[in-house]
Amino acid sequence: MRYSKLFGKTVRNAPKDATFISHQLLFRAGYIREVVAGRYILTPLGLRVEQKIIGIIDGEMEKIGSQRVILPTLHPLEIWQATHRDTAWGEDLMKLKDRRGAELVVGATAEGLMVELVKMFNPTYKDLPIVIHQFSQKFRDELRARGGLLRLREFLMKDAYSFATDEESFLKTYYDQYHAYERIAERLDLKAVPVLADSGALGGDFCHEFMVPVSSGEDRILACDKCDYKANVEKAEFVRDEVNMSESEKPLEKVSQPEWVETMADNEKHYGLPARRFLKNVVYKTGKGKIIIAVIRGDLDINERKLVRLIGEGELRPATEPDLKKLGTRSGWVHSWGHPGAFYVGDHSLKTVRNFIGGQKEKETDMVNVNYGRDFKVELLGDIALAPSGAGCPKCQGQLQELKTMEFGHCFKYDDFYTKAQGGTFVDKDGKEKFMQMGAYGIGVERALALIVETHHDGRGIIWPAAVSPYQVHLINLNSKFVIPNSEGKDGITNNESGIRAEEVYEQLNGAGIEVLYDDRDGVSAGEKFADADLIGIPVRLVVSEKSLAGGGVEWKLRNSQETKIVKTAALAGEVSGLLAAHSSQ
């Protein structure tokens, strides 16, 4: 491709709201343009990268026996209603009605529809396991689409689904996908870390996220410094340290306390003690209006995902001041016990402190020497705390260390969550119908593209891994102003050897099946061409100039290196092919 003819050119400045480096560089290099928030166009350069990512993913899916299908974008609403996923997804789910009045969901994911597809073929145990995948557009009405390709409202996803007869057979399909994701990440040159994670709105009780450590990452994982335990912060378990359990229990006492003491910071200031000595209460409301008061040690925070799972009553939202008023209280005055009509849930940390302070805030008083079990109890006690960095590992004596990351892929184990609700059965060896065991596996393709840029760049631009680069070679002609004669030889010729040789190199590499982006522009300085080449990020740069020809060939430079060398024109195709072969074998 001649750069002079390429649709989509480089620009010097990124959008003002582009905070992530991938957003900035992909825009400046001409790979993407935004239509509206969360919806992007991929230019020819961007599409070439995406197609190579798809090829790598699809190839690894084929290796594990997954077969490719394609589903409609619009799903009947009743399929989502069967598992109450329409409610769980809430406002992120986009819906519409057709002219016949049928209610449809714009596909955000495809578990339900995949169950319906497999049901159509009345599988028996002989047909299972079934593993199928697709590449399709997904639509999610994200509240805050941001980060360029990192958080979109419309995006391409590889979503795969497995159906099996039993736990043992299912786990084989699950770990086939798990290991395929490891290979895909390696081929994309992404250092993805598999971690235990929460399934969220998609259901299930066991899943892994593949997280890529990135300094600008918005996700957090916790990894043990001594063993292999790794988990998303929303899922991570931890050992709660004992604060002062050697103390004897003291008599419960009501003490004077200034009215201004409302927040945890106020408590620390007034009593001169650390937050871990205090009780903290956080109030939520279920979709049906039930008030939940979560009680926890003062230095810890509520993990809302854990709380939702423990309660099992759907999504929660923070209580409002009117909600608190109905309880007879207000923010900063919530009690750890005793509000009629509230359902109390406590964290295990309530058992790590003797003689808590707080829990019954009034205008001029509060309680001290409060002990869980003696002075109050909650209706439900469990793990509802957000694991902090430095906490004890649940598997060994190590400590959990925090890493900033971004998600690359996700594997879900659903058991019969979907198949039971939708009648997804198979006929087993004994002739009885049983529910299929199901899993789902997703990779966002545009997100993977952006993650590669987040982890492969320098101050000058993108540095594409050879496997996904839009072109394999960026050829630059530094003396391009010349005219090729027509059949009669009457065109005025500005003869310069480097221009002619650049054309020959371009044809030679194309003839060898090597993908070339050829900067053939007239009237553009060498500095500008070099800057564009660095920004676009193709792994091999070849320069044809009078200087290189005087040196015996073409100047060769790798994008991730400062070293240059002269390669004879006749050897160029072999050098490039060798480099690509070496990369593909890694």
Q: Count Cβ atoms within 10 A of the Cβ of residue 563 and give its class: 0-12 exposed, 13-18 middle, 19 or more buried.
A: exposed
For residue 570, the one-letter residue type is: A
Query: How many angstroms separate the CA atoms of 92 and 154, rounded?
Result: 12
Q: Taking 70 as the threshold, does the pLDDT of residue 486 lie above it?
A: no
Q: What is the pLDDT, as a whole number, of residue 492?
A: 41
∠ CA 48-42-68 to the nearest 5 degrees?
60
How does DSSP assign 150-218, residue by residue?
Answer: TB-SEEEEEEEEEEESSHHHHHHHHHHHHHHHHHHHHHTT---EEEE---GGG--SEEEEEEEE-TT-S
Average pLDDT score over the chain: 92
Q: Taking 90 as the threshold, does the pLDDT of residue 495 lie above it?
A: no
pLDDT tens-digit readout, 397-452? 999 999 999 999 999 999 999 999 999 999 999 999 999 999 999 999 999 999 99
For the chain, the C-alpha Rg in angstroms (whole number) is 30
pLDDT tens-digit readout, 191-235? 999 998 876 655 556 799 999 999 989 899 999 999 999 999 989
In 352-496, which ranges are continuous DSSP H helix? 417-422, 445-455
CA 342, distance to chain mean position in Å, is: 36
Around 303, how many Cα atoms within 13 Å sit in the side-chain half-sphere?
23
pLDDT tens-digit readout, 442-460? 999 999 999 999 999 999 9
Who's near 169: CB < 8 A, 6+ residues apart?
128, 129, 437
In 237-336, which ranges are continuous DSSP H helix? 264-271, 304-311, 321-327
pLDDT tens-digit readout, 50-90? 999 999 999 999 999 999 999 999 999 999 999 988 887 88
For residue 557, the one-letter residue type is: K
Written as six digits, the tokens of 454 are 């987040």
Query: How many angstroms separate the CA atoms of 403 and 206, rounded?
Result: 21
The percent of residues above 90 in pLDDT, for the chain, comes to 83
Question: Looking up tokens 């905070």, which residue turns up?
Answer: 19
pLDDT tens-digit readout, 532-542? 999 999 999 99
Mean pLDDT of 156-166: 97
Q: What is the pLDDT, as a whole number, of residue 480?
A: 54
Question: pTM here?
Answer: 0.86
Instruction: Identify the bridge partners of residue 402 per DSSP, sorted by sequence position.
Output: 222
Instruction: Identify the bridge partners of residue 458 per DSSP, sorted by sequence position.
Output: 461
Please measure the distance between the N-terminal and C-terminal CA atoms of the chain and give it in whole angstroms: 28
Written as six digits, the tokens of 168 are 């043992």
The helix (run of H) or strand (run of E) holding residue 135 is: strand 130-139
Candidates 520, 563, 513, 510; CA nearest to 540 is 563
pLDDT tens-digit readout, 97-120? 999 999 999 999 999 999 999 999
Give the 3-state secondary structure of 253-312.
EEEECCCCCCCHHHHHHHHCCCHHHEEEEEEEEECCCCEEEEEEECCCCECHHHHHHHHC
